[in-house]
Amino acid sequence: IDLSVSWLGLSMASPLFNASGVMCRHADELDRLAASCAGAVITKSCTLEPRAGNPEPRYAALPFGSINSMGLPNEGFRYYLDYARRYDYGRGKPLFVSVSGMSADETLTILGELARLDLPCLPEVNLSCPNVPGKPQTGYDFAASAALLDAIVRIYPKTFGVKLPPYFDPVHFDMMADVLRAYPTLGFVTCINSIGNALVVDVERELALIRPKDGLGGLGGSYVLPTALANVREFARRLPDRHVVGCGGVTSGAEAFMHILCGATVVQIGTCLYEEGPGAFERIAAELSALMRSKGYRTLDAFRGRLGTP
């Protein structure tokens, strides 16, 4: 069974890696991911300046996933560019740098610096952070997304990707795909970010579970799997010459299989990684491999994007 993936000039021994935000804020965490069975590594979304993020409690594990309103805590883009400079690309694990400036200008400044360094890492531009009070999710504003992408391709000449929020209406799939299709250097779209502004209640204490935004936070984990799969399949259909990175609700080999069957090239793992630790990569890869064997598939290409309709 061959779980390898070659895409965007990269080669990965496993299609699984971390979702930005989980186990990737500090260099030691990133090194731990690089030493794990993950096929790649992506950094926590970065801003121009370091951020402490939102007041705690800001993360809670739930029966079927998680809720978070971290508020973009990160060490600042220079820290991650420095990590990207020192990273050992020779070990065959691609590095992705997630960028989520507090403004379009911040994002452009960060990408300009990244372009100047001309490193093998790829940017994943976050259009979907739901947890910075007062900061809208760019991905839900199609004109703002197009304007940002227009500016990005002027200052960043190489391949990049975007992290999208979940959409819930075919018209929105059409509109966002029309925006993204206009940028030939947009090599991948990551679907999905957390489902924003959910509210989880502690009945006994009669309190919201997390503090920021009076309890509103992004939902992750099994709760979001069906929405994630729909977004993966709908964008893979609309952007057949780009890659879709699946993200959302992967806790097992079967769910990784679902994402790839829906068209994902590779798959990110967030909540499950946060709760289980990096051993999740080995376990899920082994489960995926066993499932493929039972179905007679030897490679991911044998079933990628082949979901049918009854």
Ligand X SMILES: C=Cc1c(C(=O)O)[nH]c(=O)[nH]c1=O
Token pair for 94? 């691609």
d(CA 134, CA 114): 27
For the chain, list the strands marked E by DSSP: 5-7, 10-12, 16-18, 41-42, 59-62, 65-68, 95-99, 122-126, 160-164, 186-191, 195-199, 201-202, 207-208, 216-220, 243-247, 266-269
User: Per CB under 6 A, does 128 bind ligand X?
Assistant: yes
53 neighbors 70 (Cβ within 8 angstroms): yes
Secondary structure (3-state) at 43: coil
Question: Which one among 21, 39, 65, 249 touches ligand X, defined by CB under 6 A?
Answer: 21
Q: What is the H or E stretch that residue 272 is in? A: helix 271-276
Window 182-201: contact mask with ligand X (x via CB under 6 A): -----------xx-------
User: How many chain residues bind ligand X (CB under 6 A)?
Assistant: 15
Query: Which of these segments, 69-77, 102-110, 167-175, 298-306, binds ligand X (CB under 6 A)?
Result: 69-77
User: Per CB under 6 A, does 231 bind ligand X?
Assistant: no
User: Per CB under 6 A, does 68 bind ligand X?
Assistant: yes
CB of 14 or CB of 137, closer to ligand X: 137
Minimum CB distance to ligand X, residue 60 (Å): 12
Minimum CB distance to ligand X, residue 53 (Å): 6
Window 264-293: contact mask with ligand X (x via CB under 6 A): ------------------------------
Token pair for 156? 């960043």
243 neighbors 286 (Cβ within 8 angstroms): no
The residue to which tokens 């940028």 are assigned: 183
Window 84-123: contact mask with ligand X (x via CB under 6 A): ----------------x-----------------------
Antiparallel, parallel or unpaired: β 201-202 and 207-208: antiparallel
Catalytic choice (129, 191, 247, 262): 129
Query: Which of these segments, 126-134, 228-236, 254-262, 272-280, binds ligand X (CB under 6 A)?
Result: 126-134
Cα-only R_g, the chain: 18
CB of 80 or CB of 257, closer to ligand X: 80
d(CA 24, CA 272): 14
Window 35-64: contact mask with ligand X (x via CB under 6 A): ----------x-------------------
For the chain, give the longest Cα–Cα distance. 54
CB of 221 or CB of 278, closer to ligand X: 221
Minimum CB distance to ligand X, residue 149 (Å): 18
d(CA 89, CA 70): 29
Let me know if 191 is a catalytic residue: no
Site residues for ligand X per CB under 6 A: 21, 45, 68-72, 100, 126, 128-129, 131, 193-194, 218
Catalytic center residues: 129
